[in-house]
Structure 1
Amino acid sequence: MDIHNVITFIAVATLLVISPGPNGFLIAKTVPLSGQKAGFANIFGFVAAFYVHGTLSIFGISVLLVQSAQAFFILKILGAIYLIWIGIKSLISAFKVSNKKLPNLAQRDIKPISMCTAFSEGFLTNVLNPKVSMFYLSAFPQFISTNEGVMNAYALVTAHSIVNFMWFSAMVFMLSRIKKSANNAQFKKWLNSITGIVFIGFGSKLALMKNG
């Protein structure tokens, strides 16, 4: 594999990873309320979704999303519904916190999400996102020549995953320092409110996105 192609792909993947999107806001929601382990579970969910999209692209299955307007529409709507659902859940949580009479929530009132739930949220946020699929359909094939094997293609998926892991791991460690702030009712209300609005916004934008 041409080292120039690898470096260029990593640069493109890095820009994709660090650009503002649902992944960053999901980490920002998860870590302060549920801790580092849940944040890393989110990240492993991201990575698993990348391998799903990469596999579909490598074997040409996801080309249906480009060729079939109906297939693209179904995936787009499923992704939009999921993001909006996360947003609504966060707003409901914010509303519940606003009804608390105590200025600070007791530790027993903080209910961290399970590792399985955190992984699932990270996985579904990416596997149902047509933008990730379009990246693997448009940019990804440009870095693979026809005479290269499947392992080289998966090496690029792994490179994308490593960049993703490094970036969001740094975010997890940074956000974990403010985890204790989640015991404060006002902080939890603010965090859930912002998260809810942002995810509903992402979901709405995705629902309106056009194919091609």
Structure 2
Amino acid sequence: MTWSQILTFVLATTLLVTSPGPNGVLIARTVPTSGRAAGFATILGFFAAFYVHGTLSILGISIILTKSAIAFAIVKYLGAAYLCWIGVKALVAAWRGVATVPAVTPARRRRTLLKAFGEGFLTNGLNPKVSMFYLAVFPQFIPLNAHPVAWAFLLVYLHSMINVIWFSSIVLLFSKLTRVTRGGRFQRWLKAVTGGVFISFGLKLATLRPSV
């Protein structure tokens, strides 16, 4: 994998992480009532869940790549369609205009650190979009002649650290940062860029051929 490929992956995952989703909603509900420590515990739960998704995806892809060319083609085209679907949805949202993200009602009860970790782990762990994302992008970023598990976990690590950095920033600068990211102009710009990047990823994956 070249540095340009790593930077491309970092760009794509950064766009994915910073887009509104269940992880951001959970942080917005947790921090106001339970404090920064609970927010960081939630982020740690996110971090752990990425490795569950990564392990399951890596095991599945390893079997597919080594056992069946037909299965690889099926996964390749499904992954390409999924990435293009994400891109088209984002472009449509940018074209129509993204409504301001509504305020999230804070949780009524203060969370313990263990409960905050568990909520973060379950919220991210039960989100099938993470595994779908890994299944779609791993084949085009893992060198086929390299050790697939090591490279795949490098990608998982990069994704998880981007998540940690982004949501840690939100926890530390919650009031200012959420006000900026909820703005309609910012959301339209983010969706437009995300759409273009993911459609290009999908087209690239559709033309990927395994070396034999």
Which TM-score band applies after superposition, normalised by the shorter structure? 0.5 to 0.7
Q: SS of 2:15's equivalent?
A: helix
- 1:114: which partner in 2? 112
Instruction: Indicate the larger mover: 144-153 or 161-170.
Output: 144-153
Conserved? CA contact 1:53–1:132, under 8 Å: yes
- Alpha-carbon distance, 1:6 to partner: 0.8
Q: Does residue 144 in structure 1 map to residue 138 in structure 2?
A: no
- Identity, in percent, stands at 57
- 1:4: which partner in 2? 4
Runs of 4+ in 1 over 4 A off after TM superposition: none
Q: SS of 1:147's equivalent?
A: coil
Q: SS of 2:174's equivalent?
A: helix
Taking the TM superposition and a 5 Å limit, the aligned residue runs for 1:1-212 are: 1-60=1-60, 111-149=109-147, 150-175=149-174
Instruction: Indicate the larger mover: 114-123 or 138-147.
Output: 138-147
Q: Quick one: which amino acid aligns to residue 133 of structure 1? A: S
Q: SS of 2:173's equivalent?
A: helix
Alpha-carbon distance in structure 1 between the residues aligned to 2:138 and 2:47:
16
CA RMSD across the alignment: 2.8
- Normalised by the length of structure 2, the TM-score is 0.59
Stretches of structure 2 that go unaligned for 5 or more consecutive residues are 65-73, 76-103, 177-212
Stretches of structure 1 that go unaligned for 5 or more consecutive residues are 68-89, 95-109, 178-212
Deviations 1:144-199 (A, max 9, x none): 1222222222111111111111100010012389xxxxxxxxxxxxxxxxxxxxxx
Q: Quick one: which amino acid aligns to residue 32 of structure 2? A: P
- Normalised by the length of structure 1, the TM-score is 0.59
Taking a change above 3 Å as real, the CA distance of residues 114 and 176 of structure 1, as seen in their structure-2 partners, is farther
- Alpha-carbon distance, 1:140 to partner: 2.7
- 2:195: which partner in 1? none
